[in-house]
C-alpha cells in the first residue's frame, strides 16, 4: 500500500514543472506584427509624344559620270601634238584641243577638191552658154520642134551634177582636215589616254576616254516596298549623300531624276538615279565628289503627318500596353505605318501624353493594378526594443 509520500511527491514535481513552464512563457516577448506585403507590379513607363514626320528611304551606290565618251580616230595619220592636259586625271574644257594628227595629206586633198570645184564651175558656165546658142539657132528654124538633146539640156544637167559632186568632195576634204584635230566634246576629266606623241593611228584607233564633269550620277537600289514611302515614286525628290573624303565624312546634295523602270533580275531591286551638279566643284567652291566614291543615300519621302515611334518589341498582335490614369494595365490597338529596324511608326491608336509601359510583365492581365518605382516607399525596419531595467530595492536595517 502506497504511502502519502509516494502519492504527493509526483504531484509536487508535476506542479513545479507546470509552474516553471508558465513562468518562462510569461517572460517571452510576444511576436511582432509584420506589415502586409505589397505585391503590386512595378513598371517603367515612357510618355507618348506625337510629332510631325517626313519619311525617308535609305540606299547606297557608287558615284559615276553621266556621260562617258571613248574618243577614236576618224582619219589616218601620225600624232604630231599632245596637250599637256591630255593625261589621266587632267581636266579640260569643252572644245579644248587634246591632240593633232598630221594634216599635210588632208590639206592637199582640200586643194584638189577646191580645184575640182573651180573646174566644174567653169564647165557649167560654158555649157550654159552652149545651151543659149542652141536655143537661138532653133529660134530661127520655123519648120521643126527642138528636142532636149538639140537644146543641150542633158549636157547642162551633167555639168550641174559634176559641180555638186565636186562640192561634196570639198565638204569631205574639209571635214577630214577638221578631224585631224581632236577636241574635248564637253568639260571633261581624262579617264585614260591610249596614244603617244609620234604614234600612228588609223580609222577606229582608240585615242582615250573622257568623263563628263558637269553632272554625276548615282544608281540607288530600292526594295519595292520602300517606294510606297516616296512621293511620285521618288521623282524629283532631294537626296543627301554621305561619303568619305580625305579621311572624313562629308555630305552632298542631289536630286532623283529618273527611275530605270525595271526590276533587276538578280537583286529584285528597283533602281533610282540621282544627279549631282558640278561634282568636282570646278564651277563652285563646294567639296569635290570623286567618281568611284561609295556613298550612302537618304531620300526624302512623303509626309507622314503626326506620328509617334515605339520600339518594335513592345507591340504584340498590333497591341501595346499602357498605364491609364488609374494606374491600371490597358491594351491599345495601334495602326503601324512603317517598321524601320527596331522602331515602328504609329499613326493611330494612341494619344499624346499616354504612358507606354516599356518594362516586361510576368503575368499581365488587363485591368490589373500597377505601380511606378516612385510610388513605393521602402519599408523601414522597426527600432529595436530597449531591454527592461531591473530595479533592486535595498532595504535598511532598522
Which pLDDT band holds residue 127 (cuts at 50, 70, 90)? Answer: confident
Angle between helix axes 153-178 and 104-139 (nearest 10 degrees) is 160
Q: Where does CATH 1.10.287 sit in the chain?
A: 103-179
Three-state SS for 40?
coil
Distance CA 351, CA 367 (A): 19
Examine the pLDDT at 87 and tell me if it is beyond 50: yes
Q: What are phi and psi of 44, to 5 degrees?
A: -105, 140
Q: Which of 13-17, 234-238, 300-304, 322-326 has the lowest mean pLDDT?
A: 13-17
Q: Which of 39-43, 151-155, 343-347, 385-389 has the lowest mean pLDDT?
A: 385-389
Q: Are 130 and 152 in contact (CB under 8 A)?
A: yes
Which pLDDT band holds residue 138 (cuts at 50, 70, 90)? Answer: confident
Q: Is the domain defined by 45-52+306-375 classed in CATH 3.20.20.70?
A: no
pLDDT at site 385: 43
pLDDT at site 74: 94
Q: Where does CATH 2.40.420.20 sit in the chain?
A: 45-52+306-375
Which pLDDT band holds residue 217 (cuts at 50, 70, 90)? Answer: very high
Three-state SS for 139?
helix
Examine the pLDDT at 291 and tell me if it is beyond 90: yes
Q: Where does CATH 2.40.50.100 sit in the chain?
A: 70-101+180-212
- Which of 391 and 339 is assigned the larger pLDDT? 339
Query: What DSSP string runs through 221-246?
Result: EE-GGGGGGSGGGGTT-EEEEEEEET
Fold of 70-101+180-212: OB fold (Dihydrolipoamide Acetyltransferase, E2P) (2.40.50)
pLDDT digits (tens, 9 = 90+) for 21-58: 666 766 666 666 666 666 788 888 999 999 999 999 99
List of residues 6+ apart from 319 with CB closer than 8 A = 331, 332, 333, 334
pLDDT at site 381: 43
Q: Are 249 and 242 in contact (CB under 8 A)?
A: yes
Examine the pLDDT at 383 and tell me if it is beyond 80: no
pLDDT at site 144: 66
Q: Is the domain defined by 213-303 classed in CATH 1.10.3470?
A: no
State the pTM of this model.
0.71
pLDDT at site 379: 39
pLDDT at site 331: 92
pLDDT at site 294: 96
Q: Which of 4-13, 223-232, 252-261 has the lowest mean pLDDT?
A: 4-13
* Mean pLDDT, residues 330-355 taken together: 90
Which pLDDT band holds residue 150 (cuts at 50, 70, 90)? Answer: low
Which pLDDT band holds residue 134 (cuts at 50, 70, 90)? Answer: confident
pLDDT at site 1: 52
Which pLDDT band holds residue 3 (cuts at 50, 70, 90)? Answer: low
Q: Are 289 and 326 in contact (CB under 8 A)?
A: no
pLDDT at site 395: 36
Q: Are 197 and 165 in contact (CB under 8 A)?
A: no
* Mean pLDDT, residues 8-27 taken together: 69
Second CATH level (architecture) for the domain 103-179 = Orthogonal Bundle (1.10)
pLDDT at site 65: 95
* Sign of the dihedral defined by the CA atoms of residues 16, 18, 21, 27, in that order: negative
Q: What is the mean pLDDT of the chain?
A: 85
**What is the share, in percent, of the chain residues with pLDDT greater than 70?**
84
Q: Are 349 and 335 in contact (CB under 8 A)?
A: yes
Examine the pLDDT at 6 and tell me if it is beyond 70: no
Residue pointed to by grid coordinates 510576368: 362
* Mean pLDDT, residues 162-191 taken together: 93
pLDDT digits (tens, 9 = 90+) for 294-319: 999 999 999 988 999 999 999 988 89
C-alpha cell at 398: 532598522
Distance CA 11, CA 238 (A): 108
List of residues 6+ apart from 42 with CB closer than 8 A = 359, 370, 371, 372, 373, 376
- Which of 104 and 133 is assigned the larger pLDDT? 104
Examine the pLDDT at 226 and tell me if it is beyond 70: yes
Amino acid at each position: 500500500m502506497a504511502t502519502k509520500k509516494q502519492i504527493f511527491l509526483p504531484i509536487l514535481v508535476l506542479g513545479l514543472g507546470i509552474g516553471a513552464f508558465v513562468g518562462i512563457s510569461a517572460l517571452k516577448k510576444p511576436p511582432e506584427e509584420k506589415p502586409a506585403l505589397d505585391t503590386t507590379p512595378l513598371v517603367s513607363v515612357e510618355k507618348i509624344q506625337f510629332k510631325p514626320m517626313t519619311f525617308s528611304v535609305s540606299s547606297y551606290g557608287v558615284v559615276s559620270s553621266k556621260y562617258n565618251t571613248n574618243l577614236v580616230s576618224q582619219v589616218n595619220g601620225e600624232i604630231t601634238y599632245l596637250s599637256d592636259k591630255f593625261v589621266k586625271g587632267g581636266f579640260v574644257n569643252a572644245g579644248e584641243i587634246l591632240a593633232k594628227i598630221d594634216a599635210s595629206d588632208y590639206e592637199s586633198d582640200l586643194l584638189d577638191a577646191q580645184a575640182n570645184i573651180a573646174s566644174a564651175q567653169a564647165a557649167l558656165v560654158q555649157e550654159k552658154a552652149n545651151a543659149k546658142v542652141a536655143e537661138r539657132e532653133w529660134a530661127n528654124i520655123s519648120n521643126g520642134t527642138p528636142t532636149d538633146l538639140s537644146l543641150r539640156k542633158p549636157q547642162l544637167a551633167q555639168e550641174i551634177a559634176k559641180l555638186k559632186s565636186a562640192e561634196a568632195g570639198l565638204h569631205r576634204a574639209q571635214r577630214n582636215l577638221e578631224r585631224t584635230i581632236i577636241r574635248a566634246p564637253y568639260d571633261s576629266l581624262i579617264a585614260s589616254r591610249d596614244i603617244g606623241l609620234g604614234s600612228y593611228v588609223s580609222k577606229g584607233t582608240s585615242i582615250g576616254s573622257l568623263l563628263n564633269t558637269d553632272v554625276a550620277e548615282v544608281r540607288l537600289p530600292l526594295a519595292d516596298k520602300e517606294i510606297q514611302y516616296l512621293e511620285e515614286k521618288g521623282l524629283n525628290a532631294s537626296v543627301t549623300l554621305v561619303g568619305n573624303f580625305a579621311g572624313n565624312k562629308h555630305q552632298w546634295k542631289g536630286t532623283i531624276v529618273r527611275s530605270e523602270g525595271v526590276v533587276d533580275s538578280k537583286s529584285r531591286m528597283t533602281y533610282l538615279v540621282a544627279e549631282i551638279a558640278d561634282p568636282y566643284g570646278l564651277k563652285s567652291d563646294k567639296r569635290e565628289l570623286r567618281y568611284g566614291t561609295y556613298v550612302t543615300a537618304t531620300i526624302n519621302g512623303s509626309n507622314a503627318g503626326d506620328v509617334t515611334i515605339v520600339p518594335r518589341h513592345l507591340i504584340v498582335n498590333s497591341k501595346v500596353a499602357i498605364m491609364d490614369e488609374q494606374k491600371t494595365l490597358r491594351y491599345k490597338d495601334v495602326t503601324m505605318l512603317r517598321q524601320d529596324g527596331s522602331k515602328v511608326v504609329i499613326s493611330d491608336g494612341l494619344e499624346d501624353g499616354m504612358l507606354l509601359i516599356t518594362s516586361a510583365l510576368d503575368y499581365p492581365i488587363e485591368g490589373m493594378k500597377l505601380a511606378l518605382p516612385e510610388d513605393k516607399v521602402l519599408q523601414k525596419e522597426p527600432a529595436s526594443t530597449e531591454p527592461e531595467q531591473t530595479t533592486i530595492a535595498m532595504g535598511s536595517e532598522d
